Amino acid sequence: MLKNVITFSTEPLKNCYTDIAGHSYCTRDFVNIAEGNKRLARLIFDACEGKSLEDTVEDLISIKRLGRCETCGKIYLAKKCRTCPFCKKKRMLQSSYLSGVAAEAAGLIQGLKDDHVI
Ligand SMILES: [Zn+2]
């Protein structure tokens, strides 16, 4: 694994990161995956610890540092973004969590009905 923050900052076309599988990336690859957002590119670069660029992005999405628009598929900083900065579509905040809660509540109500409580 190779990671060079100086190359990242100063030479966008030179290899600044090589993952453990041997894939090399230059700053432009980070900027491209970050939809041109250099701050976002830097955040992804900082998070790279040997995984591929794509896997690192997936990890950042799973810990909610990044959001991915469910409509246009683009990624952006999750913090404070309530709408997608690209297509302005409202984010589905933690939709999987909420549907889990809804399913649990429905199950609970059914249980109460079965017990003739309601
Ligand atoms: Zn979008």
- Listed in sequence order, the residues at least 6 apart from 79 whose beta carbon sits closer than 8 Å to its beta carbon are 65
Report the DSSP pairing between strands 66-68 and 75-77: antiparallel
- DSSP letter for 87, please: T
Model confidence, pTM: 0.73
Q: How many CA atoms lie within 13 A of 32 on its CB side?
A: 9
Kindly state the average pLDDT of the residues 69-77: 90
Q: Above 70 in pLDDT, residue 66?
A: yes
Q: Give the distance (Å) from ligand 1 centre to CA of residue 69.
A: 5
Q: How far apart are CA 36 and CA 13, in angstroms?
A: 15
Kindly state the average pLDDT of the residues 36-59: 96
Q: Above 80 in pLDDT, residue 118?
A: no
Q: Above 90 in pLDDT, residue 13?
A: yes
Q: Give the distance (Å) from ligand 1 centre to CA of residue 32.
A: 16
